[in-house]
Amino acid sequence: MPAWLAAPPTVAFALAAGVVVAACLDAAVGDVVAHRVPRWSSVVRPWRQAAVVALQRRTSSERPDRQAWALAPALLLGLAAVMLTVVPLAPGVAVADVPHGIVLYGAAAATVLIPAFLQGWSPNSALAMIGGYRMFAQGLSSMIPFALVLIAAALPAQSLAVGEIVASQQGLWNVVRTPLGLPVYLATVPALAFWGPLATPAGRDLAGGIDLEAAGAQLLTWRVAQAGVLVGMSAVGASVFLGGWAGPLLPGPVWVVLKTVALLAALVAMSHLVARVRIERFVVLAWVGLLPLALLDVFLTGWWLL
């Protein structure tokens, strides 16, 4: 089969598997935190919920922007797929082992703001719209530190290709070499994926915010796409900071999957154990704290290389 024919099903499979793992992890960690007896139903529950949502009919609000509302989940799902294409499973084995993979990933991550805003804005509903604004506030503040730590991770590889970045970590993983990188990355990912302590756009104080008016297939696609973005960000994070396919005994692709799941588990645990951050406080934190830290990360990496 030619490579370009195999690419879409591969990405779709990776996305689907990742989303299922994320949903089951979320249900299981939720049960552990709630001190409930773990049952098989934890693993079945996400499926049942998805089925119920899928059976619902779509609702409409008063004079919504229908095209934009329909476009938002599709766009987000597409961005999640783009993120997964740049992840290399083994040397030279990625769906898109492009020479500018990390820039492509950065562009996709930055564009997540747009569907998230559209999802809140298009139903023409006040609380959902406020959710959209919050997305802009936290997304714009965290985008620059997010991009800077990726650049710092690319410096030792002297390449923007994700495969090269992984290859350059064979001796020493970036999590050790650029120690500020992963913490800043993990602090900005929740903001861009509107997840956990920074799920403020879909916060309970807005009765669901950007999700408020959505129902049925639209909502299901939206939730799947959001989980997909989270999986994509974990997978790239595992490649860029945790050495991707590098690891003893097990074959490379298994290590990529294991490291991705580890980052995903950290993000899921964060969502159950860390309280929501005030949006104003986060914006200050991002500009005054994360941005200088990310710059320091770039300078330290450069200095270490000289």
Shortest distance (Å) from residue 10 CB to another protein:
21
Cβ closest to another protein, residue 213 vs residue 297: 213
Contact status: 171 vs another protein (CB under 8 A): no
Q: How many angstroms from the chain centroid is the CA of residue 139?
A: 12
What amino acid is encoded at 180 in this protein?
Answer: L
What amino acid is encoded at 244 in this protein?
Answer: G
What lies within 8 Å, CB to CB, of 69 at 6+ separation is 118, 119, 122, 123, 214, 218
93 - beta bridge partners? Answer: 90
Question: Looking only at residues 190 through 209 of this chain, which bind another protein when binding is defined by CB under 8 A?
Answer: 196-197, 199-200, 203-208
Contact status: 94 vs another protein (CB under 8 A): no
Question: Looking only at residues 244 through 283 of this chain, which bind another protein when binding is defined by CB under 8 A?
Answer: 271-281
Contact status: 10 vs another protein (CB under 8 A): no
Question: Looking only at residues 129 through 168 of this chain, which bind another protein when binding is defined by CB under 8 A?
Answer: 129-130, 133-134, 136, 139-140, 143, 147, 160-161
Q: Is 90 helix (H, G, I), strand (E, B) or coil?
A: strand
Contact status: 288 vs another protein (CB under 8 A): no
CA atoms of 63 and 152, how far apart (whole Å): 46
Cβ closest to another protein, residue 57 vs residue 249: 57
Shortest distance (Å) from residue 255 CB to another protein:
26
CA atoms of 141 and 144, how far apart (whole Å): 7
Q: Give the dihedral sign, CA 153/155/161/165.
A: negative
End-to-end CA distance of the chain: 45
Q: What character string, x for contact with another protein (CB under 8 A) and - otherwise, covers 34-63? A: xxx----x-------x--xx-xxxxx--xx
Contact status: 113 vs another protein (CB under 8 A): yes
Cβ closest to another protein, residue 58 vs residue 179: 58
Q: Give the dihedral sign, CA 190/195/199/201.
A: positive
Contact status: 29 vs another protein (CB under 8 A): yes
Cβ closest to another protein, residue 107 vs residue 258: 107
Cβ closest to another protein, residue 64 vs residue 181: 64
Contact status: 16 vs another protein (CB under 8 A): no
Question: Looking only at residues 208 through 247 of this chain, which bind another protein when binding is defined by CB under 8 A?
Answer: 208, 211-216, 219
Contact status: 286 vs another protein (CB under 8 A): no
Max intra-chain CA distance, the chain = 60
Contact status: 99 vs another protein (CB under 8 A): yes
CA atoms of 143 and 138, how far apart (whole Å): 9
What lies within 8 Å, CB to CB, of 122 at 6+ separation is 64, 65, 66, 68, 69, 72
- Judged by CB under 8 A, the residue of 118, 231, 264, 294 near another protein is 118
CA atoms of 80 and 78, how far apart (whole Å): 5
Contact status: 111 vs another protein (CB under 8 A): yes
Are the beta carbons of 240 and 167 closer than 8 angstroms?
no
Contact status: 65 vs another protein (CB under 8 A): yes
Shortest distance (Å) from residue 205 CB to another protein:
4
